[in-house]
A = this chain, B = another copy of it.
Amino acid sequence: MSDQQGITVPKGKDFSEWYNEVTLKAGLADFSSVKGFMFIKPYGYGIWELIQAALDSLLKAQGHQNAYSPALIPERFLQREQEHVEGFSPELFVVTQAGTQPLEERLILRPTSETVVYDAYAKWIRSWRDLPLLYNYWNSVFRAEIKMTKLFLRTCEFLWQEGHTVHATEGEADREVRSILESYRTLMEDYLAIPVLTGRKSDKEKFAGAVYTTTLEALMPDGKALQMGTSHQLGQNFAKAFGITFLDQAQKRQHAWQTSWGVSTRTIGAVIMVHGDDRGLVLPPRIAPIQVVVVPIFQDASKDSVLKEAKHLQGKLEKLGIRVQLDDREGYSPGWKFNEWELKGVPVRLEIGPKDLEQQQAILVRRDSMQKQPVKWDALGTVVPALLEDIQAALFRKATSFLEANTRPAATLKELGRLAEKEKGFILAGWCGNKACEEQVKDQTGTDIRVIPFQPPAGACVVCGNSGQQACFARAY
């Protein structure tokens, strides 16, 4: 860390290069020598642990339980659901050998676990008493990406959770899909401070094997959309392919209804992009591994007394449940430390020096606005928690303003094209529901349908003019 420089590329100048610099220099992740794969470093993994804790507790509060399913899947399992195998085949890693022996049957590294999990569910589920079955799996999945690697956003392996639930009725599965989507929204908005649009995917964009897919879409500062999570109604598609049946209360055998849903480490990429600035990362306090960094400032004469008080204040804040780090390293100037912790996006810096001792105060600096304020020691216990909440709220407000300012209507295909080219952002435009029109928009403007609102206003299709509904188009990651 000692020879680390600050960010050299402004966010507004070269967004992609800025993203790489922040991700690498803040110590979040690194490229592995294994082509296409990512190393998540402790600071990035610390953010993931906080995201996991938040989501895990939201899921458990709704009765979900965690489990673990094998990482390797026999190729024949994937072939049982036609749409599913077609969707995933181009990007599968295949194991063909174990030890010195060729395998009798080729094994696939899970790109997602529907098939291997549902093979097991078919064995476990017998009666309505076994339903609903609400299991969630924290693991990593593998997709042989041929495009260029981008840390957190496009790698051959990423961490996520995948939920796989089984229900007795279609309505119950529908409600699960929506309830998960709302939990995901809570995670994105209340923890990551990133506003999202929710709704359905078009049939073209839905999950391979699903009846329908719901999604959360966020807007990045370069005007491109990022899918933050999806929740799928699988209907009875997989239940029929894998023979998942149950005896209902009337002793009649029925195929079950299923859902699957996932959120990945890609969300960390969104946090970097949405909140970061030219100094580096800016972390929302709720997912910041370090919420407050205490930087003591002293000369030889004042060292002992300043350090003593710095430790005291650290302990005081930790007792309130705040994640605090004391940076008492020797051989680094306070200015150097300020730069480093700004680069790492720590929400609040607490400075304390000899003059502050006299005043019984500390200087608080908030990372988002860089505003400074002196605060008396006695007041820190109330001011710091309030400041963290305020930063959390301010980041969400700012991101929401950006989303709103960059969501625009288009009445014609030409206007849609112009907006996609010049303004970027989300574009609301009418669509008749036909795939041909959707593909024509993609060809002519480079935008996909990111999301169709759950209650879309009516709107004439910008391609064919037939009556339809409003959909949200954008270029996307």
State which of B49, B119, B157 has its C-beta within 8 Å of the C-beta of A70.
B157
* Bound: A45/B65 CA distance, A: 9
Chain A, range 67-119, C-beta contacts under 8 Å to B = 67-74, 77, 89-100, 107, 109, 116, 119
The reply to whether the CB of A126 lies closer than 8 angstroms to some CB of chain B is: yes
Given known pairs A74-B33, A93-B97, A116-B32, the reply for A39 and B68 (CB within 8 Å) is yes
Query: Which residue from B46, B123, B127 sits with its C-beta under 8 Å from A2?
Result: B127
Contacts A67-B39, A91-B99, A95-B95 given; does A72 touch B34 at CB 8 Å = yes
Bound: A38/B42 CA distance, A: 29
CB atoms of B99 and A97 under 8 A apart: no
Chain B: minimal CB distance from A162 (Å)? 14
B residues in contact with A71, CB < 8 Å: 71, 109, 140, 142, 157
B95 touches A99 (CB 8 A): no
Complex interface: chain B residues within 8 A of A97 (CB): 93-94, 96
The reply to whether the CB of A120 lies closer than 8 angstroms to some CB of chain B is yes
**Set of chain B residues within 8 Å of A156, measured between Cβ atoms:** 72
Contact: A42 with B70, CB < 8 Å? no
Tell me, in angstroms, the Cα distance from A92 to B95 when the chains sit together: 10
Taking chain A's interface residues, is the majority helix, strand, or loop, or is none over half, making it mixed?
A: mixed
What's the Cα separation between A39 and B73 when bound, in Å? 12
Partner of A98, one of B38, B93, B120: B93
The answer to whether B157 touches A34, judged by C-beta atoms less than 8 angstroms apart, is: no
Contact between chains at B90 and A94 (CB < 8 Å):
no
In the bound complex, do residue A90 and residue B96 qualify as a contact, i.e. CB atoms below 8 Å apart? no
By a CB distance below 8 angstroms, the chain B residues around A89 are 99-100
Q: Are A70 and B107 in contact (CB under 8 A)?
A: no
A387 at the interface (CB under 8 A from B): no
Question: What is the distance, in angstroms, from A1's C-beta to the closest C-beta of chain B?
Answer: 7
Q: Are A45 and B72 neighbours in the complex by a CB distance under 8 Å?
A: no
- Chain B neighbourhood of A37, CB < 8 A: 70, 72
- Out of B1, B67, B77, B100, name the residue touching A130 (CB < 8 Å): B1
Bound Cα distance A454, B34 (Å): 40
A274 CB to nearest B CB, Å: 22
Q: Find chain B residues with CB under 8 A from A69 CB.
A: 32, 39-40
A464 on interface, CB distance cutoff 8 Å: no
Minimum Cβ distance to chain B for residue A196 (Å):
25
Tell me if A159 is interfacial: C-beta within 8 Å of chain B: yes
Assess the A67–B41 pair: CB atoms within 8 A: yes
Closest B residue to A56 by CB, please name it.
B49
Q: Is the CB of B1 within 8 A of A32?
A: no
Give the residue of B38, B70, B109 whose beta carbon is less than 8 angstroms from that of A38.
B70
| A116: B residues at CB distance < 8 A | 32-34
Q: Which residue of B lies closest to A90 (CB)?
A: B99
- Write out the residue numbers on chain B whose beta carbons fall within 8 Å of the beta carbon of A92: 98-99
A1-B130, A3-B126, A68-B40 given as contacts; is B100 within 8 A of A90 (CB)?
Answer: yes
Write out the residue numbers on chain B whose beta carbons fall within 8 Å of the beta carbon of A68.
39-40, 45, 48, 140, 159
Assess whether A120 is in contact with B45, with CB atoms less than 8 Å apart: no
B-contacting residues, A7-54, CB 8 Å: 30, 32-34, 37-42, 45-46, 48-49
Closest CB in chain B relative to A168 CB, distance in Å: 15
Kindly list 20 other residue pairs between chains A and B, CB separation below 8 angstroms, not including A45-B66, A95-B96, A139-B140. A2-B126, A32-B69, A32-B70, A33-B116, A33-B120, A38-B70, A39-B67, A39-B70, A45-B65, A45-B67, A45-B68, A71-B142, A90-B99, A92-B98, A92-B99, A93-B95, A93-B98, A93-B107, A94-B96, A95-B109
Ranked 3 nearest A-B pairs via Cβ: A98-B144, A42-B65, A37-B70
Give the interface of A toward B (CB within 8 A).
Answer: 1-3, 30, 32-34, 37-42, 45-46, 48-49, 65-74, 77, 89-100, 107, 109, 116, 119-120, 123-124, 126-127, 129-130, 135, 139-140, 142, 144, 146, 156-157, 159
